[in-house]
Structure 1
């Protein structure tokens, strides 16, 4: 066993024990974090505008600080971008994480000296929890892919600015630098396909033991490796032991990824975003991701159906319930206040507080009042796919609105790795699964308001070619599972199976 593996175990146990203690104090920790955030930002412009120094309770916080999205916070962000200090948080941010929004264009998310540890230590803690629980530290001696956006940073108002993953690349601990692939030079490549080719070139003959990335990227990487080597990933990398992923639900990609690898391996799910690292998988046996309750972020939860209401219900961690779908709202030590990040979550446990990500607040179908969400369509499709041995490459769903009762339907665009033996039976079972998950959809089908869903097949690599055509191939870019209009559906027309 190498020295890193030997040293990793006691450190992992130390961190793991601290995290376990935090499970019991999560609600109190959250209340203390809110108090500290208000105190630290009391003399900022935002704090003065919202009377932070007068707020004593969570109820007062809700009254004085409304929920905001990026557009509503933008006047304050713009002042920070101009170089002004003490606007949203004390001093200036040390970085802007640059990300693209569907309605706001490019977003500039502040990262402060106080908040950077949340981004760095949370990913580390996820891996350390895995080591402590399983006792497996051997992978720490091999090569690991920490795929990132370009670490080359520009400046905005004097503040270093770039993709979050590129920023984080600058903070990888020295003891992991010798394990890290791809090289800095390769990570600086902007064109995704050129970058992927270079990553393959640098890693195909190395002893890869951990690979991290979003599942669609890992699948592209595995496909390219197999095309060049003619081997399953397990034969190419016999010591490959751990996958770390986040950003999208793993289930739709799971069967094809493990088929590409050639065996089951351990995986660790994470829930990072430019706004913060919210949760991570702390156990290989328990369902869900452990909420990061003591890392500079105060969480609020709004019943998902109320998120666009003028005065939605706002709950702290103390009042959440298992099985409810919530929009996630955060306030953090970088200066985001009651900020709607656009994700929805559902608690699977409150002792400890573990959750699953169920979708996006703006990614749903409710063209007919059904409000179908990402979790429901993923369940409906993947359950029958697993039962019938069908592998799904990628999919998205959109409404088809047509005149006349019973003429409209949900259109599912699916790229199959292997097609169902009986497509009609497959379609009917997916529809039945969705009806079982969503009572409103079931009522619309039963009442002949909607037809049963239709499946439109996307040709091989069709989704990859579509994402390439809109300049969003690779990196952290994700295909929306659901749309409430036909924009994605119409753009997919050139990529359908003839």
Structure 2
């Protein structure tokens, strides 16, 4: 049953998201002033904190002073301060105490604890967060017209962990911003749908079963939008429908949800889905929800290789809009129009610094301001904001696409992870760009891909790629693709080119796997207990067991 939000709430929401978007647009022509103000506000607000006193915030007069006083740090280097705050010590990194600690995947596999304060949410988070939904309100009004118009895959308010001091330690999508921060309008599209809060019998269900239950409920709605942020979650939906449609049909026919009684039977919808599956041989989102208009997720990285075909599974008229370039630690950029991959920097939110992506990040690395970036180049992101992160190396690499009112418009290019067994220093974006060039050269498409460096210490190292073709590759095509990929890697990475020329690297080896192999691997990882939002595409596969599963061994 369609659930319509109250007229006043919907009107207020549309006004808020468009107003925040327009305010960010107005800030672009005076970006330098906003950047200086952002840094000045941080120093003034947090001068009396333990961190501010130790680093002499009160004596800092300009950018050079700040750079000299505060070294660049990543999460691990800042962790001792964060752990003090998480244990309950006050006035450590920020003048106001954290309300919650956002959870994010750490480089060691442990969950980061990102301190989130009220001031951070007000000045840094909410402006970009609301602005991210402005395209929905302005260009896709049907998506917001009903509470059950959107399947928000990242929304899963399961029980959360706590820090030593009892503060919630949760993913951003698990936090009720209305209750925690007094922002009732902050509820995302789809978070008021019938499947947003599952019934009591699902309290102990694992992540995969919860995904099934939400999908079972969503097939009864007239969906217009799917929100995934992480595109791997979106790619999983057609795979899940193909697996689960017989169970969904039975639940609908019997009036059950996961086998438990749940309202009246919907035998008409059950019969309709059964007919569609019989006719098409499977069920795709386009069959189940013919009025779908929009997918909202990251559109770069490995997703850029498979999104065009994935979009077809959701319907020929579906638009894919990019989620913001952001992390649990804070925002970098948000699309203020319908650009397919990028948005301008959120210049009022934080003080941004950048390093060339090929450089190592050191505590004293020289950095660039936003107005010193070059179009087409890639950079590490370092930011400072009032929430208590100072010259924080985010770990993300961005590519400058162009400029909007003089401000760089950037897209996510990958994590800063390096693969380096022979001096090649390959980055994630090198691999994705080379794959795209090599595939396009042969008119080939893949559902997904990953790679690893093989260094036995006996043979010359090489890279092995696991590729899931959209349609089968012939033997000649595969051999040609391997050569083209080798050439393309040399074109994008001088280190790879040099290592190959010196004989320190052998040519890459390709392994072709079934089209659904990456989807079954994604589902396996979710079934093992990882939240779906955290199971992401991997450019570099460093988990030996995961690599073997992808190869089907």
Normalised TM-score (structure 1)? 0.88
Q: Which residue of 2 aligns with 1:430?
A: 485
Q: Which ranges in structure 2 are unaligned for 5 or more consecutive residues?
A: 246-272, 278-282
Identify the match of residue 173 of structure 1 among 174, 182, 185.
185
User: Are 1:209 and 2:224 matched, yes or no?
Assistant: yes
Q: Which residue of 2 aligns with 1:72?
A: 77
Query: Does the residue aligned with 1:302 lie in a helix, a strand or coil?
Result: strand
What is the rounded CA distance, in whole Å, between the counterparts of 1:385 and 1:264 in structure 2?
25
What is the rounded CA distance, in whole Å, between the counterparts of 1:216 and 1:409 in structure 2?
27
Q: Which residue of 2 aligns with 1:368?
A: 422
User: Are 1:200 and 2:215 matched, yes or no?
Assistant: yes
| Greater radius of gyration (CA) | 2
C-alpha contact 2:295 2:320 (8 A) present in aligned 1: yes
The CA deviation at 1:6 is 7.4
Greater shift in the superposed pair: 206-215 or 387-396:
387-396
The CA deviation at 1:54 is 0.5
Q: Which residue of 2 aligns with 1:449?
A: 504
Provide, for residues 224-261 of structure 1, a one-character-per-residue CA deviation record: whole Å limited to 9, x for no partner: 22442434323321221111113963302313312322
CA 1:348–1:127 in structure 2 vs 1: closer, same or farther (change >3 Å)? same
Normalised TM-score (structure 2)? 0.80
CA 1:15–1:310 in structure 2 vs 1: closer, same or farther (change >3 Å)? closer
CA 1:386–1:184 in structure 2 vs 1: closer, same or farther (change >3 Å)? farther
Q: Which residue of 2 aligns with 1:150?
A: 157
The CA deviation at 1:413 is 1.9
Q: CA RMSD in A?
A: 3.0
Question: Following superposition of structure 1 onto structure 2, how do residues 408-487 of structure 1 map, counting pairs within 5 Å?
Answer: 408-421=461-474, 422-459=477-514, 460-461=516-517, 462-464=520-522, 467-468=525-526, 471-472=529-530, 474-482=532-540, 487=542
What is the rounded CA distance, in whole Å, between the counterparts of 1:382 and 1:298 in structure 2?
33
CA 1:476–1:104 in structure 2 vs 1: closer, same or farther (change >3 Å)? closer
Q: Which residue of 1 aligns with 2:452?
A: 398
C-alpha contact 1:119 1:276 (8 A) present in aligned 2: yes
What is the rounded CA distance, in whole Å, between the counterparts of 1:433 and 1:188 in structure 2?
49
Query: Does the residue aligned with 2:108 lie in a helix, a strand or coil?
Result: coil
CA 1:472–1:427 in structure 2 vs 1: closer, same or farther (change >3 Å)? farther
The CA deviation at 1:137 is 2.0
The CA deviation at 1:287 is 5.7
The CA deviation at 1:281 is 2.1
What is the rounded CA distance, in whole Å, between the counterparts of 2:156 and 2:18 in structure 1?
31
What is the rounded CA distance, in whole Å, between the counterparts of 1:347 and 1:364 in structure 2?
20
C-alpha contact 1:358 1:373 (8 A) present in aligned 2: no
The CA deviation at 1:442 is 2.4
Greater shift in the superposed pair: 469-478 or 154-163:
469-478
Q: Which residue of 2 aligns with 1:27?
A: 32
What is the rounded CA distance, in whole Å, between the counterparts of 1:344 and 1:236 in structure 2?
37
What is the rounded CA distance, in whole Å, between the counterparts of 1:106 and 1:473 in structure 2?
12
Q: Which ranges in structure 1 are unaligned for 5 or more consecutive residues?
A: none
User: Are 1:358 and 2:413 matched, yes or no?
Assistant: yes
Q: Which residue of 1 aligns with 2:391?
A: 338
CA 1:275–1:287 in structure 2 vs 1: closer, same or farther (change >3 Å)? closer
The CA deviation at 1:328 is 0.9
User: Are 1:242 and 2:300 matched, yes or no?
Assistant: no
Q: Which residue of 2 aligns with 1:138?
A: 142
Provide, for residues 160-191 of structure 1, a one-character-per-residue CA deviation record: whole Å limited to 9, x for no partner: 22112101565662785785363223797672
Q: Which residue of 2 aligns with 1:267?
A: 320
What is the rounded CA distance, in whole Å, between the counterparts of 2:493 and 2:215 in structure 1?
43
The CA deviation at 1:84 is 1.5
Greater shift in the superposed pair: 77-86 or 147-156:
147-156
Query: Does the residue aligned with 2:175 lie in a helix, a strand or coil?
Result: helix
CA 1:199–1:9 in structure 2 vs 1: closer, same or farther (change >3 Å)? closer
The CA deviation at 1:62 is 0.6
CA 1:37–1:473 in structure 2 vs 1: closer, same or farther (change >3 Å)? closer
Identify the match of residue 237 of structure 2 among 195, 207, 221.
221
